[in-house]
Amino acid sequence: MKQRRSPISRLELGLQGMSAAERVALWKDTMRAGGDVEVIDEESFVGAFETRTLGDLRWTRTRSGTFRFLRGKDRTQNVPVEHVMVNVVTSGRVHGRIGRRNISLSAGGVIFSRLSNPMDLIVEDATWLALIIPLNLLTGSFNWSPRFDGCVFDAGTTQAAMMAGLLSSLGQIGETLETTEIACLAQASIAMIASGLGQALPLPGKPKKNVTDLQAAIRRYIADNLSEPDLGQERLCRAFGLSRAQLYRSMKGTSDIAKTIRRLRLFAIRRDILSGEHLGKTIPAIARRWGLTDERNFRRAFVTEFGYPPSQLRDWGSTLAGRIGEGTCLGFDLEQWMLGAHLKAEI
């Protein structure tokens, strides 16, 4: 029986061993796959992040000081693959807006949302668990309704207890899983989420397609050819025999493909700089390695994306990579995963 490893990757940002600027920069990068971060008190801010991949599901545990989490229209209108987030607050408080809804949640509460929902939340010294699921996995079993966006269940409700039990148990599963076990986890998770939202699952039968073969192939192609300078709309059209209109229809028009490719490249460059494995290369050489050949435009895009120049990151990387290891790359890992290249054509 084929097996997969599902280890938990960790990032720990404490007050010792790194500056406030380094802590905040790493936190922003880690959270960037979902939105933008504004830290209230940078000098005292600490945080911890854990994540594991369970087939097509992503589980996370996050603990942090107070910060503001923002997801504006520029992010919600360019979502590569739509995902649903189930968040269980285990300590602290989360309040603000998701879409048009005002929310306020304390320990034990649950929030449902999508990656394309605008957000403006204040996270106050909180710990929370999350399960991130490609929307197509859910809609293959039940109909997701806009009324679920920003849906909240307070502590003490049956729905909150169900979701807390599910997310807590997913963090305790062993590292090595058989493929059949991963499939059971996905099916059981979807069934519990459907029940919590008052949705009935269809009778067993032929599974619905969650992602078309063409969609999955395009996403895999982007992930596999990210370092090629000519990777873009024209190359994708040639590779798959599509017109531009067909390409965007095949991706359901939810993503600015060029912007998606650029973001993934910037995260790959950031990972290489932090890794310490390319100290003999200049930063422009690392950028060229990932297909960004115009030095001026690359530096401008890097500062726009991360809020600091790549030269500053190299200064931090000489010490951070050795202390934090793979945790410095979690932002890139999440961006890659949310691209959806891992998704299969069938559930």
Cα–Cα dist 252/202, whole Å = 25
Q: What is the pLDDT of residues 302-338, one digit of tens each?
A: 998 888 888 887 877 655 655 555 566 787 788 778 7
End-to-end CA distance of the chain: 19
Give pLDDT, residue 207.
45
CATH number assigned to the domain with residue range 3-196, chosen from the 4 options 3.40.50.10860, 2.60.120.10, 3.40.50.300, 1.10.630.10: 2.60.120.10
- 13, 26 in Cβ contact below 8 A? yes
Query: For the chain, where do the domains classified as CATH 2.60.120.10 start and end?
Result: 3-196
Strand 176-178 to 3-5 pairing: antiparallel
Give pLDDT, residue 323.
56
Query: Across all residues in the chain, what is the average pLDDT?
Result: 84
| Number of H-type helices and E-type strands within the chain | 13, 12
- Which amino acid would we find at residue 144? W
Contacts (Cβ under 8 Å, ≥6 apart) of 204: none
Cα–Cα dist 14/241, whole Å = 51
Q: What is the pLDDT of residues 132-185, one digit of tens each?
A: 998 888 887 888 899 999 999 999 999 999 999 999 999 999 888 888 888 888
Cα–Cα dist 211/79, whole Å = 15
Ranges 62-71, 92-101, 207-216: which has the least confidence = 207-216
322 against 47, higher pLDDT? 47
pLDDT band at 249; cut points 50, 70, 90 = confident
Query: For the chain, where do the domains classified as CATH 1.10.10.60 start and end?
Result: 213-339
Domain spanning 213-339: CATH 1.10.10.60: yes
- 103, 111 in Cβ contact below 8 A? yes
The neighbour count for residue 282, using CB atoms within 10 Å, is 11
Give pLDDT, residue 61.
96
Ranges 36-45, 58-67, 234-243, 267-276: which has the least confidence = 267-276
Give pLDDT, residue 30.
87
Cα–Cα dist 266/231, whole Å = 14
Segment 212-222 mean pLDDT? 78
Segment 228-246 mean pLDDT? 89
Question: Among candidates 109, 20, 34, which has minimal Cα distance to 65?
Answer: 20
Ranges 3-17, 67-81, 206-220, 247-261: which has the least confidence = 206-220
Residue keyed to tokens 């923002």:
70
C-alpha R_g of the chain: 20
Question: Among candidates 285, 329, 289, 340, which has minimal Cα distance to 132?
Answer: 340
Look up the pTM and report it: 0.79
Give pLDDT, residue 347.
30
Axis crossing angle, helix 310-324 with helix 20-31, rounded to the nearest 10 = 90
Whether 38 shows a pLDDT value over 90: the answer reads yes
